[in-house]
Amino acid sequence: MPTVLYERAGRIARITLNRPEVMNAIDGDMPGELAAAVARADADPEVHVILLSGAGKAFCAGYDLAHYAADPNNRITQEMPWDPIRDYQFMWANTQHFMSLFRALKPVICKVHGYAVAGGSDIALCADLTIMADDAQIGYMPARVWGSPTTAMWGFRLGPEKAKRMLFTGDRITGVEAARIGLVLKSVPAADLDEEVEALADRMSRVPINQLAMHKMVLNQGFEAALIASQRLATVFDGITRHSPEGLAFKARAEQVGWKQAVEERDSGCYDWSADRPFDD
């Protein structure tokens, strides 16, 4: 079954992340299939707007940690000494697949319900406009251990101080808070999310493609060079986080107790990854 679905309805291309049984967690296929769907929409002369969403209970819960963290046979964490370029090539490819949303000539609206967390937030924040349900949650919890957001969109959208507040804590925030601080365009009650997004997509779809493309290119151009430099650094750092002493401790803990417990310990702040044991308090 494809991990990404594609359909066109009139002037709107609908791209849907399609691993609902695991809240659309990212596996090895999804990034490339997402980029292919974006390219298909971008090449279609009938498509004016791309609408990105997730099937099931959430937009995207991040990378599939049952595979990437808890599986002792997974080699995303290499034997030491590790090869940083091999790691970089893997993660840079995923980053560029996500950035297809940013680079597409057609504008992209992202609809977030449930969760857009960890790698899922990387995807959502690459869209041009992101609308969340009030009760949806967004955040980059691996900022606490085992990750650096490779698309570097937090600073691009929030500025340094608010981005630091999110990445220094790894906290999740609701759609209401995300809209208040300017991370996303707006937040609406969950029952109104579909109607709100459809109305915006319809309004935008009535604008000529060349107008939409020119506005997007001009606005993105002012940030793209600095963004690429930040992404290269963040992608290198992401590999370092997974091969640091604390990152290796997290991986071992996930193998030992399962990724759900390891993530709970990470997010609650009750585990000292430097000492590889719970905090004394």
Residue range 68-108, pLDDT digits in tens: 888 887 768 888 899 999 999 999 999 999 999 999 999 99
Domains held by the chain: number:
1
Q: Do 11 and 47 form a contact (C-beta atoms < 8 A)? A: yes
Under-70 pLDDT residues of the chain: 75, 281
d(CA 83, CA 255): 22
Q: Provide the pLDDT for residue 69.
A: 84
Cross-strand pairs, 26: 63
- Measured from the Cβ of residue 182, the count of other Cβ atoms closer than 10 Å reads 11
Q: Do 53 and 14 form a contact (C-beta atoms < 8 A)? A: yes
d(CA 115, CA 133): 10
Print the domain residue range for 56: 4-278
Instruction: Say what percent of the chain tops pLDDT 70.
Output: 99
Which pair of structure tokens corresponds to residue 121? Answer: 């937030």
The domain that holds 238 is classified in CATH as 3.90.226.10
Single pTM value for the model: 0.95
Give backbone dihedrals phi and psi of 23, rounded to 5 degrees, phi first. Answer: 50, 40
Output DSSP code: residue 142.
Answer: G
3-state DSSP call for residue 105? coil
Q: Do 142 and 116 form a contact (C-beta atoms < 8 A)? A: no
Q: Provide the pLDDT for residue 21.
A: 97
Q: Provide the pLDDT for residue 113.
A: 98
Output DSSP code: residue 4.
Answer: E
